[in-house]
Amino acid sequence: MKCINCGAENTYKERIANSRRCKACSHQFAFEPKFMYSVKFSDVFFAKLINDISANNTFKFTEKQLFYLLNKRLLKKQPDITSELILFGFVLVIVGIVFSQQTSELLIAVAGVSMVVSGIAIQDYKKNKKIQKLLVTPQKFQDYLNIWQSVNPIDGLLTLSTQRNLPSSVNSDITTYSFDRVVICDSAEIANLLIANNFHFENNSAVLSIDGYPENIFDTVMHMLRRNNDLKIYVLHDASPSGVSVVNTLSTNPDWFSNTSNSNVTIYDIGLLPRQVFNNSNFFTQISEEFAAQAKELSLEIKKYLINEEIKWLEAGKYVELESFTPQKLLSVISQGIANSRQSASSDSFVDYSGGGDFSGGSDACDISIFADDCFG
């Protein structure tokens, strides 16, 4: 196994003889594959995960993003026997047909057909089910992460406590201004991710979460936002019951924008919607009984903006989290959504859910207009 510090190769005997330290530079090995059971990986493998998710230390990332990437990479390493099953089945069919005069060879042909059909059925089932199995549980991942950080601290790994230690006041000169736009996330973790990667500076955009993050400046920022009569609101959320509820909360809750005096507030939904997941196996779809129960409690006001297939998908407990994407992908999606929103009002890029068709503005437009975009599709 290669040392991530100096690159020297160390055999298992050498690692054990040196108390799991590199024979050349004495750097501690974090993981020992021979001591791992359900999954096995080396320090080099884990270091590459961190390098890839941060794009060579360009982006900061959350623990859950690293958790998802670990599971994705390990799933790719899992053998898939369905192709071999189909191939072997075809061989048996050919053998059986060639020698079909005898009963035993006929049985071989029948067995071959069965294997082909079974293999195709398994492939079809896996394709349609699209539910990913976690090879590493959140608890086990936390163990791995703690071990790694005890040896190799991760600079770009985010925690909410870092942002919560920021100053609790904003310069009075700044508060007299407003923002052109705000990105509202369905979790503090995603809001923290955007802020840590300087999204707010680069896009002249405020970043908040639906649960009031960052707490230290939340009220001040909301006061600034309400001063903008042409505020553009971009909603970023999971494909989940709580995620698809965010837009409704923003447009109906008096703590947000339902009681605003703004005459032209526009909400753009650039989050994950179930319809974007249906035919895309690249999404890391999971299932939860808790989410299934939450979906059944969604109000009719929220459900009317969802198609029947989306409601069934949610009520089955299925969900996809934003943190299953890399920081680079998420930032790209938001930038794409903002760019699309600058197109003409008649553009097909956004759908007016409140009107059931393309938004055309004019006298029929509501004070709060709601659009959706397929950035993840």
Over the stretch 214-248, which tens digit does the pLDDT of each residue have?
A: 999 999 999 888 888 888 999 999 999 999 999 99
What rounded mean pLDDT belongs to the chain? 80
Residues 59 and 186 in one domain: no
Question: CA-to-CA distance for 269 and 267, rounded, in angstroms?
Answer: 6
For residue 347, the model assigns a pLDDT of 38
Mean pLDDT value across residues 329-358: 59
- Tell whether the model's pLDDT for residue 326 goes beyond 70: yes
* Total-model pTM: 0.79
Question: CA-to-CA distance for 61 and 249, rounded, in angstroms?
Answer: 27
Residues 230 and 248 in one domain: yes
Question: CA-to-CA distance for 24 and 221, rounded, in angstroms?
Answer: 54
Return the CATH number at 273: 3.40.1360
For residue 136, the model assigns a pLDDT of 95
Work out the number of other CB atoms within 10 angstroms of the CB of residue 64: 19
Question: CA-to-CA distance for 233 and 208, rounded, in angstroms?
Answer: 11
Which is more confident, 243 or 347?
243
For residue 338, the model assigns a pLDDT of 84
User: Is 54 contained in some domain?
Assistant: yes
- Tell whether the model's pLDDT for residue 194 goes beyond 90: yes
User: Is 5 contained in some domain?
Assistant: no
Residues 145 and 263 in one domain: no
User: Is 41 contained in some domain?
Assistant: yes
- Tell whether the model's pLDDT for residue 354 goes beyond 50: no
Question: CA-to-CA distance for 72 and 76, rounded, in angstroms?
Answer: 6
- Tell whether the model's pLDDT for residue 182 goes beyond 70: yes
User: Is 326 contained in some domain?
Assistant: yes
CB 199, CB 192: distance < 8 Å: no
For residue 33, the model assigns a pLDDT of 93
Residues 249 and 123 in one domain: no
User: Is 2 contained in some domain?
Assistant: no
57 torsion bin: left (phi>0), alpha (psi -120 to 50), beta (else): left
Structure-derived torsion over alpha carbons of residues 289, 290, 291, 292, reported in degrees to the nearest 10: 50
**Residues 6 or more apart in contact with residue 139 via CB below 8 angstroms:** none
- Bridge partners (DSSP) listed for residue 182: 206, 233
**Helix, strand or coil for residue 301?**
helix
Structural domains in the chain (count): 3
User: Is 1 contained in some domain?
Assistant: no
Question: CA-to-CA distance for 99 and 347, rounded, in angstroms?
Answer: 64
User: Is 6 contained in some domain?
Assistant: no
Residues 144 and 289 in one domain: no
Residues 177 and 199 in one domain: yes
Render pLDDT for 4-38 as a digit per residue (tens, 0 to 9). 999 999 999 999 999 999 999 999 999 999 998 88
Residue 201 — pLDDT band, cuts 50, 70, 90?
confident
Percent of the chain with pLDDT over 90: 53
Burial of 129 (0-12, 13-18, 19+ CB in 10 A): exposed
CB 179, CB 233: distance < 8 Å: no
User: Is 32 contained in some domain?
Assistant: yes
Residues 196 and 48 in one domain: no
E-assigned strand segments in 216-366:
232-236, 265-269, 286-287, 318-319, 351-352
Render pLDDT for 288-298 as a digit per residue (tens, 0 to 9). 999 999 999 99
Percent of the chain with pLDDT over 70: 71
Residues 102 and 245 in one domain: no
- Tell whether the model's pLDDT for residue 304 goes beyond 50: yes
Which segment of 96-110, 112-126, 270-284, 355-369 scores lowest on mean pLDDT?
355-369
Render pLDDT for 50-81 as a digit per residue (tens, 0 to 9). 999 999 999 999 999 999 999 999 988 766 54
For 35-42, which contacts have Cβ atoms below 8 Å and span 24 or more sequence positions?
38/135, 39/74, 39/135, 39/136, 41/74, 42/1, 42/2
For residue 46, the model assigns a pLDDT of 97
Residues 34 and 182 in one domain: no
Residue 325 — pLDDT band, cuts 50, 70, 90?
very high
Indicate the residue type of 183.
Answer: V
Question: CA-to-CA distance for 366 and 39, rounded, in angstroms?
Answer: 54
- Tell whether the model's pLDDT for residue 206 goes beyond 80: yes
Q: Which residue segment(s) compose the domain that 110 sits in?
A: 82-129
Taking the CA of residue 325 as centre, how many other CA atoms within 13 Å lie in the half-sphere pointing to its CB? 23
What are φ and ψ of residue 264, in 5° steps? -145, 45
Question: CA-to-CA distance for 187 and 199, rounded, in angstroms?
Answer: 16
Residues 297 and 222 in one domain: yes
Residues 349 and 242 in one domain: yes
Residues 124 and 238 in one domain: no
- Tell whether the model's pLDDT for residue 43 goes beyond 80: yes
For residue 38, the model assigns a pLDDT of 84
For residue 355, the model assigns a pLDDT of 30
